[in-house]
Structure 1
Amino acid sequence: MAKTLGETKDVLIGRAERQMREHFGDTELTTRQKLALTCRILFDGGHDSGLAGQLTARGQEPGSYYTERLGLGFDEITEENLLLVDEDLNVLEGTGMPNPANRFHSWIYRAREDVNCVIHTHSLHTAALAMLEVPLVVSHMDTTPLYDDCAFLKDWPGVPVGNEEGEIISAALGDKRAVLLAHHGQLVTGATVEEACNLAILIERAARLQLLAMSAGTVRPLPPALAREAHDWTSTDRRNQANFAYYARRALRRHPDCVTGEVRI
């Protein structure tokens, strides 16, 4: 006999959250491994655009972060060829040079102590939406983690290798987790690599859905209170960990070379 059919939604949400805390948690992956896996996850998700785009995650020492070596595509990144750089993009560990456009990541890390990972790509559908100078519209339950959490920078500041672009992009991001950059692409942030990876996958899907919906008619808005509820429900650490673990397992089957040794997820 069912015992929960008369329970309120709040009670059921609380029950589900307790169960997720019991069944899901952080993996034993290192930051390097998580970042390498994220590169492969995003490559498979259509985020590659030649050598454009950067992924970074804070290092153990203040003012340091991991990033890819310029000249390698997302599908070539491994935990061993990642670089550790400082805020001036001097290489602390590894061989090669980082993408000079990483400079604006330093500005974001300085402005946002809560951010530990930044992902910027020129993924196909976010770039197409950016060409229209149209903000991201969240109108589907799957994309509600981005509801009222994606800023919009309408004015393209040019190639982001100067400090001016760092100031402009970090200011446009504000206190949100994502920003759509007109005539450019997308940028998402996370308190963890897992959170940023999930949002990067999601913002590309959201842009694709929006373009499809716009081609068929007028996108209708979500009820704000319900959208906010869904945003909070889908933005927990446990949900991020569970989603990332799935993406990582799939990436490992396709790209076993991106990490060293055997890993369990």
Structure 2
Amino acid sequence: MGATFDDSKADLMQRAEQRLAENFTETRWTTRQKLALTCRALFDRGHDSGLAGQITARAEAPGTYYTQRLGLGFDEITDDNLLVVDEDLAVIEGEGMANPANRFHSWIYRARPDVRCIVHTHPFHVAALSMLETPLIVSHMDTTPLYDDCAFLPIWPGVPVGNEEGEIISAALGQKKAILLAHHGQIVVGTSVEEACSLAVLIERAAALQLAAMAAGTIKELPKQLARQAHDWTLLPRRSAANFAYYARRALAGHPDAITQ
């Protein structure tokens, strides 16, 4: 006979959160490895756009971060070919150069001490939605981690290699987890690589759902209180860890060369 059928939803959620903490502990991956796996996982989900886009994570020394070498696609990134750069994009470790567009990452990291990882990509559906100069609408349960947490920059400031673009983008992002950039793409920021990877997967799915729904009719809003509850529940760090563990397994199955050590 079940013993929990009279429990409240709040009690069940609290119990589930405790079990998540017990069952999904810190992964064995290093930051370098998690970043390489994120590049491969997002490549498999349509986030590649030639050499466009950057995926970065804070490195150990203050004011430094990991990024991919310019000239390599997401499907070529390994844990040992990542660069470590400073805020000026000078290479501290590794060979080659960083993408000059990484400059706005430096601005975001400086403005947001809570951010540990940034994913900026131009996936197909996000890019298509950005061409409409329309904000992201979150109206499905699966994408509620982005509910009321995705900013919108309606004006394209040009190629983001200058400090002006860094200032504009970091200001428009504010304290949100994500931003849709008109005529450009998306940025998600995470308190961990796991969270950023999970949100990057979701924002492309959210854009695809929005475009399909807009073609069929008028999108209906989610109930605000329930959507906020879902946002907080689905953004639990252990849920991000569980999501990432799955993405990492899939990435390694298809790209065993991503991890060299």
TM range (shorter): over 0.9
Matching residue of 2:88: 88
Matching residue of 2:68: 68
Matching residue of 2:223: 223
Q: Cα offset for 1:40?
A: 0.1
Report the Cα distance in structure 1 between the residues aligned to 2:196 and 2:189, rounded to whole angstroms: 5
Q: Percent identity?
A: 72
Q: Normalising by the residue count of structure 2, what TM-score does the alignment of the two structures yield?
A: 0.99
Residue by residue, what CA displacement relative to the aligned partner does 1:157-212 show, whole Å, maximum 9, x if unpaired?
A: 00000000000000000000100000000000001000000000000000000000
Q: Cα offset for 1:256?
A: 0.2
Tell me which amino acid in the other structure corresponds to 2:5: L
Tell me which amino acid in the other structure corresponds to 2:29: L
Report the Cα distance in structure 2 between the residues aligned to 1:214 and 1:100, rounded to whole angstroms: 35
Q: Normalising by the residue count of structure 1, what TM-score does the alignment of the two structures yield?
A: 0.98
Matches within 5 A, 1:96-111: 96-111=96-111
Root mean square deviation, CA, Å: 0.4
Tell me which amino acid in the other structure corresponds to 2:156: W
Please state whether the residue corresponding to 1:194 is helix, strand or coil.
helix
Please state whether the residue corresponding to 2:66 is helix, strand or coil.
strand
Report the Cα distance in structure 1 between the residues aligned to 2:111 and 2:47, rounded to whole angstroms: 26
Report the Cα distance in structure 1 between the residues aligned to 2:235 and 2:69, rounded to whole angstroms: 31
Residue by residue, what CA displacement relative to the aligned partner does 1:134-173 show, whole Å, maximum 9, x if unpaired?
A: 0000000000000000000001000000000000000000
Matches within 5 A, 1:128-207: 128-207=128-207
Does 1:79 pair with 2:79? yes
Matching residue of 2:258: 258
Please state whether the residue corresponding to 1:106 is helix, strand or coil.
helix
Q: Cα offset for 1:88?
A: 0.2
Please state whether the residue corresponding to 1:55 is helix, strand or coil.
strand
Matching residue of 2:26: 26
Tell me which amino acid in the other structure corresponds to 1:228: R
Please state whether the residue corresponding to 2:160 is helix, strand or coil.
coil
Residue by residue, what CA displacement relative to the aligned partner does 1:13-68 show, whole Å, maximum 9, x if unpaired?
A: 01101111111111110000000000000000100000000011001000000000
Residue by residue, what CA displacement relative to the aligned partner does 1:95-136 show, whole Å, maximum 9, x if unpaired?
A: 000000000000000000000100000010000000000000
Matching residue of 1:57: 57
User: How many pairs are equivalent?
Assistant: 261
Report the Cα distance in structure 1 between the residues aligned to 2:39 and 2:15, rounded to whole angstroms: 34
Residue by residue, what CA displacement relative to the aligned partner does 1:202-240 show, whole Å, maximum 9, x if unpaired?
A: 000000000000000000000000000000000011000
Tell me which amino acid in the other structure corresponds to 1:201: V
Q: Cα offset for 1:260?
A: 1.5
Report the Cα distance in structure 1 between the residues aligned to 2:201 and 2:21, rounded to whole angstroms: 23
Please state whether the residue corresponding to 2:95 is helix, strand or coil.
coil
Runs of 4+ in 1 over 6 A off after TM superposition: none
Report the Cα distance in structure 2 between the residues aligned to 1:27 and 1:15, rounded to whole angstroms: 22
Q: Cα offset for 1:6?
A: 0.6
Report the Cα distance in structure 2 between the residues aligned to 1:212 and 1:254, rounded to whole angstroms: 29
Please state whether the residue corresponding to 2:180 is helix, strand or coil.
strand
Please state whether the residue corresponding to 1:203 is helix, strand or coil.
helix
